[in-house]
Structure 1
Amino acid sequence: MPEEPLRRATATERTTAGPTARPTARPTAQPTPDAKALLLVTAAAQHNDPDAPGASVALVLRAVDAAALAPDTLEAAERAGLVYADAEHLFLGPPLTAAAVYGAAPLLARQAAHRLLAALLDTGHDRLAHLLHLASATSEPNPDLARELAAAARGGTSADARRAVGLRRAAALAPDVSTRAALLAEAAEHAHRVGRTDWARRWTAQARALPADAVARGTAARVHGLIALHDGPVADAHQSFLLAARLLARNSRTLAIRCRLDAAEAAWALGDPAAFRDAVEPLADEPFPGPADAVAYGVGMRAILQADAPGFATGSAILRDVVARAERADDVDQLLRSGAAALVVGDLAAAGRLNGRALAVARVAGPGTAVPRILEHLAYAELRSGRHMQARAHAEEGVRAARQAGQRNLIAHHHAILALVASLDDDATTVRGHADAVEAIAAAHGLRQPSTLTSWALARADLARGRPNEAAAHLAPLLRTGSEQAHFALRMLTVPCFVEAAALSGTPEPARRHLAEFAIWAHLEVDPQAPAQLARCQALLAAADGSAPSEIEAGYATALARHAQPDNGFERARTLLSYGRWLRRSRRPAQARDLLREAQVTFDRHGARVWSSHAAAELRATGAPPTSAEPSGDLGELTPQQLRIARSVADGATNREIATRLSVSIRTVDHHLRNVFATLGVRSRVELARLVDRAEA
């Protein structure tokens, strides 16, 4: 039977067919002129869309027809290994890349390919793509095309890197330098928003080198500040934001407010409360129209940072209202501000909810610069709440996301959280590794917050390993009056660790002055754990002084009562261990046993193995065998996606519901769930739900 003649598949047939195999060997034959034209059209089709997985098969087939190439050009190129395809996209075969093919073609050939593609695209369906190809086919300034392209790039709300490319191309077409500078600054802003930090950095520098009006200069200053805030010296970021606020105030008060809040965020990272107050001061002193929650956040934070009781009362009331108003919000910036406000006023549950919602909103919007920052806020809220495994999962994801986005400052913030989590587990090498990763960035960029957190983590690791002298030495410099080493918002959080280290090392005297200051902090009710920690510290110092047993017992009893509302299991276990240790050494082993058993079980559930071993050793010293905690896997061993699935199972969701919630297939959920079961050593959804409930209690 004679072989059927080869024919070129129609666009419909091609787009409904399965994928062709990716070539495994390099093409050997030189491509024909028609094949070269096909390769150039394929490369040009992707040139303006940096996120495109490949060229549209349908568009390339139409281009082959329009260019009157040989009917079998595409099939011949596939057989030669020059291209391969799936149902929707055409790809260049290795070692060819779109950038290499495009760059090797003559300018006139590239422009001809873009003109061809522009003519084929439906301007109503994808006007931006049509205009981008027209712009790529143009070498001379074209003000009309620049205006059309900029308008199309500004349209819509998607986080699409093509919009940044469109604004950049519009800038190249603009005939006057002031318009070019304005479009470059706008392109840089959009590039930063979609996570293209390298573009944003380059285009901002180009915009700042051109004469421009106040809006363009303000926009460029703001983008420079955003880049420095996440990947540079935060003092530079602070000054850039203040400059941007001044330049933008006349044309956009709303954007000026945002710049002032960004300047305040940079001041927070610096650990400079005065700079924070100065940045937001105009929000309180002027009738400053703008987003109500943004103004209220700035005014409330300024009042809090006055560092007196009336200021705390006024600021707390304002910030609690900010939190309440955000409960149904879907704007990432508002949710982040409100989550930060919740942390400041000690509403840790709200902080977790709001930052969790911000993460969900940001993921739906697509890749961008916000996700690493949201993960940092969420992980820190979980850390403060005693949910250490969840904090570790989100911080590990945050390191990866920040590294991908080129945000070294956020890498440092996430490593600081990971250092604190690791300090629970007697892994001094891991803690030191995270601390070194932080300091490599923090010292150069002026990041006082992660630097303070790592000093605290090193102290906690020393305390967990029975080295109270070394723990106290880490923290003493942070607690000195006027110390520039400690972050102003974290200093009080380290006091309980210092008091315990000082008491256990037999030198309690330095701790008394700091505990008196901590007592004032605890009574402000902005840290839900502080009242219980205060009572525990008072009991520790009373024991170190040899006070009456009744006074010591009363202190521990008060601490345990205060731990109940709200309950942070890990901190309660620390109190149980301290109380049980004192009872055993006071020759009251029977009373110590129940406390030590509960402490050991709780430490096991939190993955704090070193603290569990301390409780077990104390329990053995009472004459009782250590408690064998109910077998439980470590949720921290799960990937972030596995952890989300495990939590959904604990909530009672079916695999189909989980797939819908996470926008994945049911098969993907099944695969992850099998790995979750294997990792945690559970055999059923019921066991998994119980384990998650225990770990997150």
Structure 2
Amino acid sequence: MRSPLRLYGRSGELASLETLLTRLRRGDGGALVLTAPPGSGRTALLAHAVAAYRDRGAGPALHVAGAPDERWVPYSGLHALLCAADPAPGDPDRVLRDGLPPAAFLALLRRLGCGRPLLVCVDDAHLWDPDSRAALAFAARRLGPGSRVAVLIAAGDEAGFAGLPALRPGPLDDDAAAALLDRLTGAGRADPVVRGALLREAAGNPGLLTALTARLTPAQLAGRVPLPHPLPGGDDVLAAHADRVGHLPAATRTLLLIAAAAHAHEPEGAGADLALVRRAAASAAVPPAACDLALHTPGGTAGALRRAGDRVHFGEPLLRRALLHRAPPDRRRAVHGLLADLLAPGFAALVQRACASPGPDAPLAAELEAAAAPPRPHADRATALTHAAALTPDDTAGQARFAAAAEQYRLAGEPGRARTALARAGAAPGPAHHVRGLLALADGPAPDAHEALLTAAALLAPHDPGRARSALLGAAEAAWAAGEALGYLDALTRIPADAADRDLAHYRDGMCAVLRGRIGAGHLLLRRCLDSGARDPGALLRAGAAGLVLGDLDAACRAGARALAAVSASGADALLPQALEHLAYAELRAGRHARARAHALDGLRAARRTGRPNSAAHLHAVLALAASVESGTRECAAHAGAALAGAAPHGLVQAETLATWALARADLAAGRPAEAAARLDPLVRPGLRRGHFATRMLAVPCYVEASVLAGRAVRGGGAEPVAEAVAEFAVWATRTTDPQVPAQLARCRALLAPVGEAAGRYGEALAHHDRAGGDFEQARTRLLFGSWLRRRRRTREAREPLRDALVGFERCGASAWAARASGELRAAGEAVEAPGPSGTPAPLAALTPQQARIARCVAEGATNREVARRLSVSTRTVDHHLRNVFAALGVRSRTELAGLLQDVPRDVSATSRPGHADVPTMPGADR
């Protein structure tokens, strides 16, 4: 059996091919032209179509390819096609001798199928002779319903098939290119630095990626041997790109080479200065008409240059690289030298001079290094330092410059280029360790980053105290993410006192004091961080963290917003995901869930763009927490799953804690307190799986609520862990100024209080909420208080807090929690509309609260006896209600009931548990 050809990132193209083949199998004809740059997979797509068609046995298929040597032999293309037919019609050699009019070729195609549907595939049709292409295009335009012939053509843009349906496969996206590379190298066998270099060099071109990978040895792929620079391979693909403009006049080709060289000093994707290209062309005696031809004539150049205002871009990025690669070295250096002479002295001229240099040049390297200074953007600084390193005669100095370039690439949000520069830096001590540690902090295990940055700090301290301090701050950040309080303290205490940076000293001393239990002194120092008026992005991020530790959430949000503005102004794209993460988390803590979600989504996009998956894991956790309030279980589970998938292999305990808390909160909203308590139990209690030291206390109120509603706090000694958690939360409440914490503590105590004291505790909690504000937490307290009253059969009193809870949840967009509140309100005897998935009444709305609870339990698979035990009623009562449920909903079986309710949002009225609706939460509460 033949193994099917695996294509990556071509689902749209394959669907179009399948549509054509389906029509052909029905007897209808058609045509489709695949136009794409060399190496994009045109040939693979045609081969796939031929194999798929032949496997179905619908009819014959002819598959031929153009031959460069026969390009100017009249009718050679038609001759090759007829020779591929079995049997060949008549005498194919007569076609070469006498020719074949287009109409006669069309009639011949219709006979070749012998009454069966015929597929004709022509690869590289642009290499056919003009007469054959004209006949093929004539025939393809006349194939329609009932013709039983379909033509698939793969060709360059210049082949002359205008007017036919066309499909243009673009570059592979990142995921598809990575999947192809995994197949080529064996998943997991290629070193990450090598993977990044190959993917970046291939620019989404599958043919080039395949060629580059094939030229590397196993040791080079595994990273044991440094990669050659530039990467070998791909000459055929690049040559094919260059050949697309090879037939143009020499003056036009010169202008295209000038445009390609003019991109060298520009940022990625910025194009070239059209005025500079025109001036250089004039200096090289290129007539203006050549520029007009390159810009405006689609025939021949295939849209080689595209104008956008005063900039020009290559339509195909690989064409630019191909032109530079194919040009003789002396000619290429001469063009760069010409551009350097036309540019004013400065960064751009230095880069062009570097490209024009035939070998090492120490003075030029020194000038480039001097140009790599603020306020120039990080990407430009990286470019200058890379050229400087390549021109440096001394190996040690060159390695140091490559390490400095890696740091600038990292700050520019290009971790792949940073890793490539690090590979060329070799064993440069200190700076290279620093950048490797910071890259690991963004995309690697946090404990590894911690150790790497501590090592870098030790190496840098004697001669570069500034970088050493940065490395220690990075080590502290890694320990924080990993939940290692002692590692965090150790890294902070290693930062030397610096009178010039009092903000950092206050932060260091304040955080150390808080973690060592000297709360008052620590808060005083952290308050100075908030009040300092710092403008540096790093200082502002630390100020935001200080605000969170203090519990001053408004100040934390303000510092986060200022940090985001400072990062955006600095151009340090690598810091953007972190700034958005800090701001989103602060807003989440402040109860601004919609704002938190918006900033977290922006941060997630930035994290993906800049290669920071660890930040993405934290941002997914923030989004999961927001979804646990606003969207309910499904969206929360998706974001929490993404957070846990990224956090687990990299030891990101903080992200794991937040994601688990989010899942538990969604469980609570959906009326699953037992599941919520099970998730949170290992986080808030002592043990190996204990949650993050700085965030686990935030989950205690949810843990207490879930444990009480699930009955865990009243059975088998289960009250002791819950009481211990509340006692620890009470101690923590004295150490924070978070305005919600006193109310949450009072709510926890109300949940655990005897019947005679609970109402007073709830009143105390609501009084705290009135002072603190915040719709969501206040609504949660009102919901619990109303539920408590209803279970005490004080339904009239219960309606007011439940009504207020519903309004509060609706005001802050907490739809899942609003559903739970509406269920409780219906159970208290007040009519509340329960909208279904499309705004129609939900099926459960037709039932009484008790019937709805029984229906939900049965739909989940519980037997009548299990339902009776769960709801503390008799089996006969369940039987009676279930008959009425079947009648009210028009179903005849438990299976139909489960199908009817599978998409209905779950609320408290339908999901009772021991200790939940209508079951006492404390022994003897209803006796």
Which of the five TM-score ranges fits, normalised by the shorter chain?
Answer: 0.7 to 0.9
Deviations 1:232-280 (A, max 9, x none): 1111211122122222222333332222121111100010000011111
Matched, 1:261 2:473: yes
Task: Please point out which of 314, 321, 324 is paired with 2:528.
Answer: 321
Match of 2:591 in 1: 386
Match of 1:32 in 2: 249
Matched, 1:597 2:816: no
Task: Please point out which of 812, 815, 831 is paired with 1:625.
Answer: 831
Task: Return the structure number with greater helix share.
Answer: 1
Match of 1:62 in 2: 279
Match of 2:515 in 1: 305
Distance 1:579 1:260 in 2: 48
Match of 1:530 in 2: 741
Q: By how many angstroms is 1:53 displaced?
A: 2.1
Match of 1:226 in 2: 438
Distance 1:320 1:83 in 2: 57
Matched, 1:162 2:380: yes
Task: Please point out which of 21, 28, 50 is paired with 2:267.
Answer: 50
Match of 1:185 in 2: 403
Distance 1:426 1:397 in 2: 18
Distance 1:45 1:110 in 2: 11
Q: By how many angstroms is 1:356 displaced?
A: 0.8
Q: By how many angstroms is 1:367 displaced?
A: 5.8
Relative to 1, partners in 2 of residues 1:96 and 1:248: Cα closer, same or farther, differing over 3 Å? closer
Residue 51 of structure 1 aligns to a residue whose secondary structure is coil
Letter in 2 for 1:520: V
Letter in 2 for 1:276: Y
Distance 2:819 2:306 in 1: 58
Q: By how many angstroms is 1:26 displaced?
A: 3.0
Q: For the Cα contact (< 8 Å) 2:608–2:616, is it kept in 1?
A: yes
Letter in 2 for 1:319: L
Letter in 1 for 2:646: I
For normalisation by structure 2, the TM-score amounts to: 0.61
Residue 100 of structure 1 aligns to a residue whose secondary structure is helix
Matched, 1:541 2:760: no
Matched, 1:273 2:478: no
Task: Please point out which of 111, 131, 146 is paired with 2:365.
Answer: 146
Matched, 1:521 2:729: no
Match of 2:773 in 1: 567
Relative to 1, partners in 2 of residues 1:27 and 1:43: Cα closer, same or farther, differing over 3 Å? farther
Match of 1:136 in 2: 355
Relative to 1, partners in 2 of residues 1:436 and 1:173: Cα closer, same or farther, differing over 3 Å? same
Q: By how many angstroms is 1:569 displaced?
A: 1.5
Deviations 1:500-559 (A, max 9, x none): 0111111211311111111111122343322111100110111xxx431xx111111111
Q: By how many angstroms is 1:27 displaced?
A: 4.4
Distance 2:310 2:815 in 1: 52
Q: By how many angstroms is 1:94 displaced?
A: 4.6
Q: For the Cα contact (< 8 Å) 1:47–1:98, is it kept in 2?
A: no
Q: By how many angstroms is 1:374 displaced?
A: 0.7
Q: How does 1:186-205 map to 2 (within 5 A)?
A: 186-205=404-423
Distance 2:367 2:450 in 1: 35
Matched, 1:361 2:566: yes
Q: For the Cα contact (< 8 Å) 1:459–1:470, is it kept in 2?
A: yes
Q: By how many angstroms is 1:199 displaced?
A: 1.2
Q: By how many angstroms is 1:395 displaced?
A: 1.1
Match of 2:505 in 1: 295
Residue 263 of structure 1 aligns to a residue whose secondary structure is helix
Match of 2:424 in 1: 206
Q: By how many angstroms is 1:474 displaced?
A: 0.4
Match of 1:92 in 2: 314
Gaps of 5+ in 1: 1-24, 630-697
Q: How does 1:366-377 map to 2 (within 5 A)?
A: 366=571, 368-377=573-582
Distance 1:261 1:274 in 2: 14
Distance 1:191 1:128 in 2: 17
Letter in 1 for 2:545: A
Q: For the Cα contact (< 8 Å) 2:260–2:321, is it kept in 1?
A: yes
Match of 1:248 in 2: 460
Q: For the Cα contact (< 8 Å) 1:257–1:295, is it kept in 2?
A: no
Q: For the Cα contact (< 8 Å) 2:819–2:834, is it kept in 1?
A: no
Match of 1:657 in 2: none
Q: For the Cα contact (< 8 Å) 2:333–2:357, is it kept in 1?
A: yes
Match of 2:324 in 1: 102
Deviations 1:612-649 (A, max 9, x none): 112222222333334999xxxxxxxxxxxxxxxxxxxx
Distance 2:688 2:742 in 1: 25
Distance 2:812 2:340 in 1: 59
Relative to 1, partners in 2 of residues 1:534 and 1:331: Cα closer, same or farther, differing over 3 Å? same
Q: For the Cα contact (< 8 Å) 1:253–1:288, is it kept in 2?
A: no
Q: By how many angstroms is 1:289 displaced?
A: 4.4
Task: Identify which range, 101-110 or 386-395, moves more after superposition.
Answer: 101-110
Question: Radius of gyration: which is bigger?
Answer: 2
Distance 2:342 2:660 in 1: 61
Distance 1:38 1:367 in 2: 35
Distance 1:159 1:292 in 2: 28
Letter in 2 for 1:49: E
Distance 1:34 1:347 in 2: 68
Q: How does 1:651-670 map to 2 (within 5 A)?
A: none
Task: Identify which range, 98-107 or 378-387, moves more after superposition.
Answer: 98-107
Q: For the Cα contact (< 8 Å) 1:226–1:237, is it kept in 2?
A: yes
Task: Please point out which of 802, 815, 821 is paired with 1:609.
Answer: 815
Residue 423 of structure 1 aligns to a residue whose secondary structure is helix
Relative to 1, partners in 2 of residues 1:514 and 1:461: Cα closer, same or farther, differing over 3 Å? same
Residue 752 of structure 2 aligns to a residue whose secondary structure is helix
Q: By how many angstroms is 1:352 displaced?
A: 0.6
Q: By how many angstroms is 1:447 displaced?
A: 0.6
Distance 2:631 2:494 in 1: 48
Letter in 1 for 2:511: M
State the aligned residue count: 584
Q: By how many angstroms is 1:424 displaced?
A: 2.2
Q: For the Cα contact (< 8 Å) 2:252–2:294, is it kept in 1?
A: yes
Matched, 1:282 2:494: yes
Relative to 1, partners in 2 of residues 1:57 and 1:239: Cα closer, same or farther, differing over 3 Å? same
Match of 2:866 in 1: none
Match of 2:692 in 1: 487
Q: By how many angstroms is 1:95 displaced?
A: 7.8
Distance 2:730 2:390 in 1: 62
Match of 2:49 in 1: none
Gaps of 5+ in 2: 1-155, 160-244, 299-303, 714-718, 836-927
Q: For the Cα contact (< 8 Å) 2:643–2:656, is it kept in 1?
A: yes
Letter in 1 for 2:523: S
Q: How does 1:308-457 map to 2 (within 5 A)?
A: 308=517, 311-326=518-533, 329-366=534-571, 368-425=573-630, 427-457=632-662
Task: Identify which range, 436-445 or 86-95, moves more after superposition.
Answer: 86-95
Pick 1 or 2: higher relative contact order, CA cutoff 8 A, min separation 6.
1
Deviations 1:654-696 (A, max 9, x none): xxxxxxxxxxxxxxxxxxxxxxxxxxxxxxxxxxxxxxxxxxx
Residue 534 of structure 1 aligns to a residue whose secondary structure is helix
Letter in 1 for 2:804: E
Q: For the Cα contact (< 8 Å) 2:701–2:744, is it kept in 1?
A: yes
Matched, 1:173 2:384: no
For normalisation by structure 1, the TM-score amounts to: 0.81
Q: By how many angstroms is 1:469 displaced?
A: 0.9
Task: Please point out which of 74, 77, 82 is paired with 2:291.
Answer: 74
Letter in 2 for 1:128: F
Residue 263 of structure 2 aligns to a residue whose secondary structure is helix
Task: Identify which range, 598-607 or 481-490, moves more after superposition.
Answer: 481-490
Distance 2:440 2:767 in 1: 46
Letter in 2 for 1:50: P
Distance 1:73 1:531 in 2: 77
Letter in 1 for 2:535: D
Letter in 1 for 2:287: A
Q: For the Cα contact (< 8 Å) 1:375–1:398, is it kept in 2?
A: yes
